[in-house]
Amino acid sequence: MEKADIKQIETEVKPPVASKGVVGWARANLFNTWFNSILTLVTLFVLWKTVPPFFRWAIVDSLWFSTGEACRGTEGACWSVIPANIRFILFGFFPYQLQWRPLLAMVILVVLLFYSRDRRHWNNSLVYAWVAGLFAMGLLMKGGILGLVEVESTQWGGLPLTLMLSVFGLAAAYPLGVVLALGRQSKMPAVKALCVVYIEMIRGVPLITLLFMSSIVFPLFLPEGVTVNVILRAQVAIIMFTAAYIAEVVRGGLQGMSKGQYEAAESLGLNYYQTMRLVILPQALKIVIPPTVSQLISALKDTSLVVIIALYDLLKTTQSVLSDPSWMAFSSEAYIFVALIYFFCCYFMSSYSRRLEKELDTGL
Amino acid sequence: MPDNITTENSLPTGDAIIEIIGMHKWYGEFHVLQDINLTVKKKERIVICGPSGSGKSTLIRCINRLEEHQRGQIIVDGIELTNDVKNVEKIRAEVGMVFQHFNLFPHLTIVENLTLGPIWVRKTPKKEAEETAMYYLEKVHIAEQAQKFPGQLSGGQQQRVAIARSLCMKPNVMLFDEPTSALDPEMIKEVLDVMIDLAQEGMTMLVVTHEMGFAKSVAHRVLFMDYGQIVEQNTPSEFFDNPQHDRTKLFLSQIL
């Protein structure tokens, strides 16, 4: 009887309707105070002044597949600069006939990355898939066996180079950063001192300095005749740099852990590595997902600094295209295109991090 | 309080499982434990009480070396506690510990909390560990929550899970560090009931608590600590009805 009564009340009393149509919503949110009304009007004015002209430039008056000469006469955007030069922008000096190889390598990488997004796929076969994938990518880029023509790494460039430097840079920097963070918390004075010195030294210099050192100073220490690939050196510099920052982010997470978690793990008889791997790190790393991803995103964008040691990454190949007199005037279009590529990579990371956070949320 | 519950109160006569001989501990200059001598026999149940800051928590935390002592000896199950990490890990696996704030692992489900120790320390196969876990969850009346996360449980439920987590390691001794102090009043009883069950099965227990009813009905021996010393120890009836020291009398008059 009582239950029925409660049900009836539930059906009768509805939550108050928050908005009454568009007008009600606008009044409640856009014009609820005089200050907000002014803000709304100013915003509308700015949008009216900027959006239509941009739309006209980017879409209405734009040219998509023309020569550079044809573009001169138009008021709109000359997107033609991209299709006309797409292969150089994406692949740099990689031999023109062989550019299917870096393309295939990138496809493999992207497929693997997408497949790895789902945590249910994280098992042994995924590890084998990555090993096989890495081998295939290396083979495609370098060649030299299996009837593939060898391509010197000095000819690598464009998007594959950017992706390679970022993906492997981040993949290696993250675990290294975690180890450094643990080292900095270590009770062993030597380990701790080493990690502190490393982290503070790396954080004390700009990435450019490290890249210069890797390309100019480092070879001075090598015995005569020995050379280390310039891409590898840049890769190592990026890893070392990013790891130091990741280490500090992870350390923040470790400090957020309560002493009780360590004690509970230890009182079960777990040793140091088990305690860290099974109890502390899963929680600490989860807490620091947002700052970690910020760090990784900025590392991805920092790979564009390798231009200073004469590597042709995505940004540099684009700039090279713009030094061609027939396309010189259309840098905005080309840069917008490159910006979009960077944006998609970064957005992929940040949306994935949000998804991970949601999946790992256990209500505490 | 469950005064009506009778546990077998005759003092066990078996071998000693914990021996503490002339033990001292300092926090910097502060002498937190002074000349502690204590022998705990197998199946013995000891309640340790005393004002806050008297060193009672520190004492039981020394027994599984969550705290280091600086002088004297602590021998647990025939193994002396030293800096030898392997020995310490061995003892910790034999000694269960229940904390005031439960300290469940929030990123693991209840059943994963329970199987973590057996799988990684005892190398029990996963399936067997899960069966054991379910057995102990039944025992603490919480089996239906096995797949939830700790954050979804009430305090009393979490503490019972914490007890079950310790039991899954099949410990020889259980240490309780104020297990009911962080609980709402209506949840204290459900935790104490589980502890009484445990007592009736003959578990060796050292309990730091302010639940004097529990001490009366369950303990073989009650220890009173103050200023880092064991001031008085006696059977519950003698301890409560006929305290010897003034400090004990003062303490009892304040809490009873």
Contact A363 B165 (CB under 8 A): no
- For residue B95, the cross-strand partners are B173
Look at domain A81-94+151-360 and name its CATH class: mainly alpha
Token pair for A359: 């999946």
* Complete DSSP assignment for B53-102: TSSHHHHHHHHTTSS--SEEEEEETTEE--S-HHHHHHHHHHEEEE-TT-
The conformation of residue A149, written as its DSSP 8-state character, comes to P
What are the distances in angstroms from CA B134 to CA B110, B141, B144, B194, B202? 10, 10, 9, 15, 21
Contact A279 B116 (CB under 8 A): yes
A-B contacts (CB, under 8 Å): 73
| Amino acid letter for position B120 | W
Contact B165 A268 (CB under 8 A): yes
Q: Is B252 on the interface with A (CB under 8 A)?
A: no
Q: How confident is the model at residue A16 (pLDDT cuts 50, 70, 90)?
A: low
Q: Is A362 on the interface with B (CB under 8 A)?
A: yes
With a pLDDT cut of 90, the percent of chain A lying above it is 21
* Complete DSSP assignment for A311-344: --BHHHHHHHHHTSTTTGGGHHHHHHHHHHHHHH
Across A181-195, average pLDDT: 91
Q: How far is B170 from chain A (nearest CA, A)?
A: 11
A205 by DSSP, 3-state: which? coil
Q: Is A286 on the interface with B (CB under 8 A)?
A: yes
- Comparing alpha-carbon positions, the chain A residue that sits nearest to B62 is A267
Query: What interface predicted TM-score (ipTM) does this complex get?
Result: 0.90
Chain B residues whose CB is inside 8 A of the A253 CB are none
- CA A76 from centre of chain: 32
CA–CA dist A152, B43 (Å, integer): 75
Tell me: the pLDDT tens digits for A126-159?
Answer: 888 888 888 888 888 777 777 777 777 777 878 8
Angle subtended by helix axes A331-360 and A81-91, to nearest 10: 60
Contact A260 B101 (CB under 8 A): yes
Tell me: the pLDDT tens digits for A303-347?
Answer: 888 888 777 888 888 888 888 777 777 778 888 888 998 898 889
pLDDT higher at B23 or A85: B23
- H/E stretch holding B40: strand B30-41
| Strand pairing class (B45-49; B71-76) | unpaired
Interface mutation vs chain B, best among A268, A277, A283, most B CBs within 10 Å: A268
Strand order in the sheet with B95-98: B95-98, B173-177, B204-208, B45-49, B221-226, B229-234
Contact A261 B103 (CB under 8 A): yes
Q: Where are the domains of chain A?
A: 3-62, 81-94+151-360
Chain B residues whose CB is inside 8 A of the A282 CB are 107
Token pair for A75: 């008021």
Q: Token pair 């963070």 is at which residue? A: A181
Contact A283 B106 (CB under 8 A): yes
Q: Is A361 on the interface with B (CB under 8 A)?
A: no
Q: Is B77 on the interface with A (CB under 8 A)?
A: no
Q: How far is A266 from chain B (nearest CA, A)?
A: 7
pLDDT given at position A17: 64
Across A194-220, average pLDDT: 88
Across A97-118, average pLDDT: 84
Q: What is the CA angle A21-A26-A32, rounded to 5?
A: 130
pLDDT higher at B180 or A91: B180
Q: Token pair 């004990």 is at which residue? A: B248
Contact A271 B117 (CB under 8 A): no
Across A248-266, average pLDDT: 92
* Minimal Cβ distance to B117: which of A260, A269, A362: A269
- From first to last of its 256 residues, chain B has per-residue pLDDT tens of 444 444 555 667 778 899 999 999 999 889 999 999 999 999 999 999 998 889 999 999 999 899 999 999 999 988 888 888 888 888 999 999 999 999 999 999 999 999 999 999 999 999 999 999 999 999 898 889 899 999 899 989 999 999 999 999 999 999 999 999 888 888 899 999 999 999 998 899 999 998 898 999 899 999 999 999 999 999 998 899 888 899 999 998 888 7
* Minimal Cβ distance to B149: which of A282, A286, A364: A364
Q: How confident is the model at residue A32 (pLDDT cuts 50, 70, 90)?
A: confident
Q: How far is A186 from chain B (nearest CA, A)?
A: 15
Closest CA to B113 of A179, A273, A209, A268: A268
Q: How far is B137 from chain A (nearest CA, A)?
A: 17
Q: Is the pTM of this model over 0.95?
A: no
Q: Is A281 on the interface with B (CB under 8 A)?
A: no
Q: Is A155 on the interface with B (CB under 8 A)?
A: no
Q: Is A283 on the interface with B (CB under 8 A)?
A: yes
pLDDT higher at A35 or A102: A35
CA atoms within 13 A on the CB side of A97: 4
